[in-house]
Structure 1
Amino acid sequence: MTNRTISAYIITFLVAFGSTASAMAFVQTPNQGDPLLTLGGKPVAKDELIYLLSKGNKSEPGTPGMSRDEYEENLDLFINYKLKVREAEARGLDQTEEFTREFDSFRENLKAPFLIRNSLEEGELRKAYSRMQEIIRASHILLQFPPNAKKEDSLIVLRMALKIEDEIKNGGSINELALKYSDDPSAQVNEGDLGYFTALQMVQPFEDAAFSLQPGQVSDPVLTNFGYHIINVKDRQPNPGQVRVSHILVRIDENAENGEDLAKRKVADIYTEIQKENTIWEDIVKNYSEDPSSSQKGGILPWFSVGSMIPQFEMAAFSLTELGEVSPPIRTKYGYHILRLEDKKPVESFESMEESIRSRILRDSRSTMIQSQVMAIQKSRYNFDENEQNVAKLRTELSSTSKNDVAQVVADKDLASDQIFSLQGKSFIAQDLVDYMNEQEIRIQTNDGVFDAWYERFAASVLNEAEEADLEANNKEYQMLLKEYRDGILLFSLMNEEVWQKGLMDSIAQKAYFQNNIGNYQWEERVNAYIVKVLDMTQLDAARQLLQGKSLSDELISTFESSYESINPLAYQTEAGTIEYAEHPVLSKADMDSNYQEIEANGHLHIVILGEKTSAGPKEFEETRGLVIRDYQEYLDKSLVESLRKKYPIKINPKAKEETFIALNQ
């Protein structure tokens, strides 16, 4: 039983009273006052029906609410649905391994949108996309820490960064100072100029600082994993989106004494050739470009955005405005290029970029930041209280201990019962951490001691469990969604067992149902006919010559169709077979006593050849087996509901019923 199948069935079944999501897990909803109804003594809360119906009733303001008749119909469907769930529970279908497996697989997906982490991730996604609407050009100076730097070394680097910041703010050139001071190797080539970039193309602290500055402003020292940066924003512009260009590359022979001049002369000659009338760009590329990956494809390069290519190439590409426009030669570290603009497109919508942005955020330092924020909120919300003294003692004792030896050290040092923190009044001890470590089969690579890495992971696990428990106990929307899909899985299981598979596989029962309901499977009067719709009226005479005066036969049909299919296949449309003619759009106009006719219908002329007529009568089982199976399954479903209504007496609370109707129409 696949998740896709479950979800598809639940949507199909529940859409009758407004539900549109996929199956999940279950928690007991709190008491909602007087129940709407009881099924065999088991109460069903009115909020459950209100929730399901409201999900599909997002009408525009001012439109009429649900009528009494609609309400009664939906209530009846709801009762049938809950009866099936009640029966599935009675059969123990909620206790099976398969059911538990479905719960586990769905629960993770369902809870995600309700968790603290999701709202923080959503905030970062929106912030990143908002920043993507701009591009920034900045220069920077990087001051790195020496290897194995101590605190005093970091302070020396910071003081140097502050000194350089003052120089820039007092009129010094950041680009000249980058040549003198920057530890970024590329500064010797670009003088600290990073070109244009947008969100998610720099490490987060650098990006945050850059996007907080206006053109001309200089940052305070910005700390990243690379060291301290001084950032000077030169320009901010709307993001031009993506561009696609083709190019011609002329490489510079570094080993030749005059390699630069030769390359410059060659690219100038190519550029002159391109300006000539009737020059074919693709031929020039094929003959002269020295980029083996693109020269045989017209020089076409993949789509790219700002910050994806080297600055000189990128700036030339984005400066082109008209499709087909060709740039003057530009120089990069690869040689000389001539670019032609092939296409442009704006920044994509948030919806189309959402998953890509999410993936990039979760791969960089933002993921760690989000996790830290999640834990901070959880600790505050669930009264996390760390025993700092015991945690410090464990850190000291386990600082150089491997994971495999932690349990032994904790036992030998008599630390197992030491409290490490409490959460919502519950105490967690060192032995809890040891047990958690023993359960985990992963290895953690860390520069910190083994204790810090595992303690952080254990605390996060306990906090996550507390958040999920809180969600299930106190979030009504989540509770309802869980219950909806818990019941949906049970519904699917029962229906699959009692209706779908039985109706599909029991051929003896199918035939018995067919015989008992033979009156529903009758042919109307039929005629063997060949109908030719004339689409090209210039071919009418040709069709007449082949068909008029002939008796209907397979040979006639074959001869006619082979005559036009190879010459003019669009001249006609044909239909052949034994057809019920009373409601047919063409045959209903035909004279059943005339073998050849020409009939106007729906704006086209039709040539009709009639053969043997067949009287009305019963169909053979195989002729209508698909329809029989569908009808038999509907019969099984109806019979199941009738039996359940007898098995589980239904008592409706009139007051709660009326309150539900009023709530749905507010």
Structure 2
Amino acid sequence: MNHRTVSAFVVTLQIAFLLHFPLSAFAQTNGDALLTVGGKPVDKDELVYLISKGISTDAKTPGISREEFEENLELFINYKLKVREAEAMGLEKTEEFAREFASFKETLIYPYLIKNSLEEGELRKAYSRMQEVVRASHILFQFPPNASTEDSLIVLKMALKVKGEIENGGDINELAVQYSDDPSAKVNKGDLGYFTGLQMVQPFEDAAYTLQAGQVSDPVLTSFGYHIIKVQDRQPNPGQVRVSHILVRFDAKNPTAEENARRKIADIYTEIQKENTVWEDIVKTYSEDPATNQRGGLLPWFGVGSMIPEFEMGAFSLSEIGEVSPPLKTQYGYHILRLEEKKPIDSFEEMEENIRSRILRDSRSGMIQSQVVAIQKARYGYKEDEASVGRLAQALNSSSKENFAAAASSQSLDKAPLFTLQGRTYLLSDLIAYMDGEEISAKFTGGTFDVWFDRFSAEILAQTEEKDIESNNKEYQMLLKEYRDGILLFSLMNQEVWEKGITDSLGQAEFFRKNLDNYQWQNRIEAFLVKVLDPTQAENARKKLQGNGYDQSLIQSFEADYQTNATLAYHTESGVYEYAEHPVLSKIDPQLSYQEIEVDGSLYLVLTGQKIPAGPRKFEESRGLVIRDYQEYLDQSLTDSLKSKYPIQINPQVKEEAFLALNQ
């Protein structure tokens, strides 16, 4: 059972647990609770919350009528009776409940976490940037291996010097050939072509999207080094295109081969211009791309920043479906492109999950986590014992995880303080206990103490935030209670009603015997119905059926013939039917073995046979109905017994407050 099942189950109580009994039958109490169930109070907010979820926001009249309120209150009481019984049976103490509830909590709390709001902000920012494409050039200044602080300053000074040259009229593309440590600069002169959000490392993207066309950035630090960036152009995002192509390859080191490829692609382009030329045939004959030449050269959809710049610019320059580009050169060879389809950028809702997964895979995830920790520390009064932490780092960073506890003990460091959070001081012994419960992680950089201290403090802060939400966020409390009670309700109903109704064969038989009047056949008749779908085939059917009655061999012969020779001519059905309410058979003369009638504009040819008078069903013929009715009986019996077991008391004043709250 997933969380949607539980939620739907609770919200649709008026369907699943509609048990009618007057509220006036209940005693009343003067306490502050809306009601008590066997002495256990139930707050009005829970009723208001559940009913509110079921009120349509599209309703012409807001709120809820008095009659609807009374009905929902009855349903709510039935619901609470069953939850009370599930609690009394100890169903919330089972391993299955604990496992399922823990899984739900992990999902339910996510929208309320600081992390979620920060991620949502990044998602929206990324999508906003995706509305635009930026063309930029850059010069990269890398650090030498194992660079010192002095080395980093030297690289920064060089970047600033080159920036000055650009601002004094220097061409960034020519300077990229001279200075850039990006290997591709020798070919593209630092021109990165067009790109959009999430296609560059975050610091580079952040800088590029703050510049207008023609502006040059200060040195931008990324994991690659320092960059000087100049934005050449900014345009609305053209969306995505799908093209097919013809490719003629050549060896870039062989001028003769390149010239031959250029002539060949020119000849192919001339051939394409001829009337009655079939693109797919040309592709199959000439294209040297084995991955696409057997399927018309068709490539997958792509957007800006997904292909090499020359190919991309050629594709996006095409405007009409079927338009063919002049030959263009890339590092792979010469291409001719044909535009197959175009579409705008997808909506945020369509792209949300893809954007989220990309954000969580790049450096933004680390940035978000750092922001989360910083906010948590400020919100919950985190105070690190910097002096103690510094000493511990010096003493334990070189120890392995396996030897960490022994090293701490040998130096009598177990009681050394780490930080204080909400009045509690956490010690090194707490960190050691945490490390013992964690698997050895994949590769990490940094000293052992530093790495595990950061993990431990982040975990404690996350737990503190969850406890804070659970204690102080009313909406989350209601949602959590809904799912908790929903799981208990499902478990009780499954045990006492649904499974029992299916497996209790003796109970089913006894219920059937006592309620035999509910399982009666009406007058029935054997019938074969042929609905004529193709009027031109009506006479063929008439010739085969006219003058006959219901006969299995005739039916089989007719169906075999039309399914072989005229599959779409007829729709047939046969069997024994209660005909009084049947949409077709209710209109026939039961005394005629063959007849034709028209119903809702369709012609039916009908063969009839034996007429069976009304009478009792056999148990085997009614099993499905019996199981359904038996489960309803068990449900009603359970509720009736619980009303006796757990007295209900209602506070009329609080009840009225709940009604008013739903109509504000």
TM-score normalised by length of structure 1: 0.95
Q: Among residues 117, 127, 130, which one is paired with 1:119 in the alignment? A: 117
Deviation string 1:311-363 (CA, Å, 9 cap, x unpaired) is: 11111011111111111111111111111111111111111111111111111
1:72 aligns with 2:101: no
CA shift in 2, pair 1:142/1:10, >3 Å: closer
Distance change >3 Å, CA 59–CA 659, structure 1 → 2: same
Q: Distance in 2 between matches of 1:434 and 1:533?
A: 78
Contact 2:9–2:486 (8 Å) recurs in 1: no
Residue 26 (structure 1) aligns with: none
Instruction: Give the distance between the partners of 2:270 and 2:350, measured in 1 at CA.
Output: 42
* Mapped partners of 1:534, 1:330: distance in 2: 60
1:404 is paired with a residue whose SS is coil
Amino acid at match of 1:205: P
Question: CA distance change for structure 1 residues 257 and 43 in 2, over 3 Å: closer, same or farther?
Answer: closer
Write out per-residue CA displacement over residues 398-457 of structure 1, whole angstroms, 9 at most, x where no aligned residue: 232212222122222222212111011210112211221122112353332112111111
How far did residue 600 of structure 1 move? 2.2
Quick check: 1:128–1:200 contact (8 Å CA) kept in 2? yes
CA gap 1:119/1:134 in 2 versus in 1, 3 angstroms? same
Work out whether residues 18 and 53 of structure 1, in 8 Å CA contact, stay in contact via their aligned partners in 2. no
In 2, the alpha carbon distance for the partners of 1:586 and 1:128 equals 60
Distance 2:7 2:505 in 1: 27
Asked whether the equivalents of residues 382 and 419 of structure 2 are also in contact (C-alpha less than 8 Å), the reply is: yes
What is the Cα deviation at residue 73 of structure 1?
A: 1.0
Conserved 8 A contact 2:49-2:478? yes
Q: Which residue of 1 aligns with 2:325?
A: 327
Are positions 1:15 and 2:12 aligned together?
Answer: yes
- Aligned counterpart, 2:483: 485
**Matched residues in 2 for 1:649 and 1:567: separation?**
71
**8 Å contact kept, 1:391–1:420:** yes
Q: How big is each residue's C-alpha offset from its partner over 1:235-274, in whole Å with a ceiling of 9 and x where there is no partner?
A: 0111111111111111113564511211111111111111
Q: 1:45 to 1:18 in 2, by over 3 A?
A: farther
Task: Measure, in 1, the Cα distance between the counterparts of 2:422 and 2:15.
Answer: 38
Aligned length: 650
Does residue 1:304 correspond to 2:298, yes or no?
A: no
Query: 1:59 corresponds to which letter in structure 2?
Result: T
TM-superposed CA distance for 1:297, in Å, is 1.7
> Per-residue displacement from partner, 1:187-230 (whole Å, max 9, x unpaired)?
11111000000011100000000001110011111011111101
The residue identity in structure 1 corresponding to 2:368 is I
Q: State the match for 2:313 in structure 1.
A: 315
State the alpha-carbon separation in 2 of the partners of residues 597 and 301 from structure 1.
Answer: 60
Q: Is the CA contact (8 Å cut-off) linking 1:18 and 1:54 kept in structure 2?
A: no
After TM superposition, list the pairs within 5 Å mapping 1:242-391 onto structure 2. 242-254=240-252, 256=254, 258-391=256-389
Is 1:42 the counterpart of 2:40 in the alignment? yes
Equivalent AA in structure 1 for residue 160 of structure 2: L
2 CA distance for matches of 1:529 and 1:443? 71
Q: Secondary structure at the residue paired with 1:592?
A: coil
Mark the CA change 1:66 to 1:517 in structure 2 (over 3 Å): closer, same or farther: same
The percentage of aligned residue pairs carrying the same residue is: 65
Instruction: Give 3-state SS (helix, strand or coil) of 2:638's partner.
Output: helix
Matches of 1:464 and 1:552, distance apart in 2: 74
CA contact (8 A) 1:525 1:580 kept: yes
Query: Residues 61 and 558 of structure 1: is their aligned pair in 2 closer, same or farther, counting only changes over 3 Å?
Result: closer
Q: State the distance in 2 between where 1:200 and 1:534 align.
A: 59
* Equivalent residue, structure 1, for 2:607: 609
Distance apart, 1:535 and its partner CA: 2.6
From the superposition, tell whether residues 257 and 604 of structure 1 become closer, same or farther in structure 2 (CA, over 3 Å).
closer
Moved more, 460-469 or 243-252: 243-252
Q: SS in structure 2 opposite 1:493?
A: helix
Q: Give the 5 Å matches for 1:153-232.
A: 153-232=151-230
Does structure 1 retain, via aligned residues, the 8 Å contact 2:7–2:482? no
Following the alignment from structure 2 to structure 1, what is the Cα–Cα distance between the partners of residues 537 and 266? Answer: 62
How does 1:426-575 map onto structure 2 within 5 Å? 426-443=424-441, 445-575=443-573
3-state SS, counterpart of residue 109 of structure 2: helix
Q: 1:653 matched to which residue of 2?
A: 651
Give 1:546 deviation, angstroms.
Answer: 1.9
- Report the 3-state secondary structure (helix = DSSP H, G, I; strand = E; otherwise coil) of the residue aligned with 2:414: coil
Alignment partners' CA distance in 1, 2:15 and 2:327: 63
Give me the whole-angstrom Cα distance separating, in 2, the residues matched to 1:18 and 1:122.
36
Q: Deviations over 1:251-303 (max 9, x none)?
A: 11356451121111111111111111111111111111111111122111111
1:96 and 2:89 matched: no
Moved more, 64-73 or 630-639: 64-73
- Cα deviation, residue 484, structure 1: 0.7
Query: Separation in 2 of the partners of 1:461 and 1:189?
Result: 48
Return closer, same or farther for 1:568/1:196 CA change in 2, 3 Å cut-off. Answer: same
Alignment-derived partner of residue 411 in structure 1 = 409
Matched residues in 2 for 1:408 and 1:292: separation? Answer: 62
Q: Which amino acid aligns with 2:159?
A: A
Counterpart of 1:633? 631
Letter in 2 for 1:429: L
With 393-402 and 442-451 compared, the bigger mean Cα shift is at 442-451
Alpha-carbon distance between aligned partners in 1 of 2:90 and 2:225, rounded to the nearest angstrom: 62
1:574 offset after TM fit, Å?
Answer: 2.1
CA–CA distance in structure 2, aligned partners of residues 312 and 619 of structure 1: 77
* Cα distance in 1 for residues equivalent to 2:15 and 2:187: 63
- Which letter does structure 2 place at the counterpart of 1:281? W
Deviation at 1:12, TM superposition (A): 3.4
Tell me, yes or no, if structure 1 residue 579 matches structure 2 residue 577. Answer: yes
Q: Structure 1 residues 210 and 155 mapped into 2: Cα distance closer, same or farther (>3 Å)?
A: same
**Larger mean Cα displacement after TM superposition, 438-447 or 339-348:** 438-447
Alpha-carbon distance between aligned partners in 2 of 1:193 and 1:270, rounded to the nearest angstrom? 30
In the alignment, which residue of structure 2 is the partner of 1:29?
none
Q: CA deviation at 1:531?
A: 2.1
Secondary structure of the equivalent of 1:147? coil
Q: What secondary structure is seen at the aligned counterpart in 2 of 1:113?
A: helix
What are structure 2's unaligned runs of at least 5 residues?
17-30
Q: SS in structure 2 opposite 1:434?
A: helix
Matched, 1:422 2:420: yes
Q: Give distance in 2, aligned partners of 1:308 and 1:372.
A: 30
Partners of 2:204 and 2:386 lie apart in 1 by 33
Secondary structure at the aligned position of 1:309 is classed as coil
Asked if the contact 1:524/1:617 (under 8 Å) is kept, the reply is: yes
Matched position secondary structure for 2:597? strand
| Cα offset, 1:566, TM superposition | 2.2
For the structure 1 residues 9 and 481, does the alpha-carbon distance in structure 2 shift closer, same or farther, using more than 3 Å as the test?
closer
Cα distance, 1:445–1:37 mapped onto 2, change above 3 Å: same
**Contact 1:597/1:607 (CA < 8 Å) preserved in 2?**
yes
Counterpart residue type for residue 327 of structure 1: S
Distance in 2 of aligned mates of 1:448 and 1:601: 81
Contact 2:78-2:639 within 8 A present in 1 as well: yes
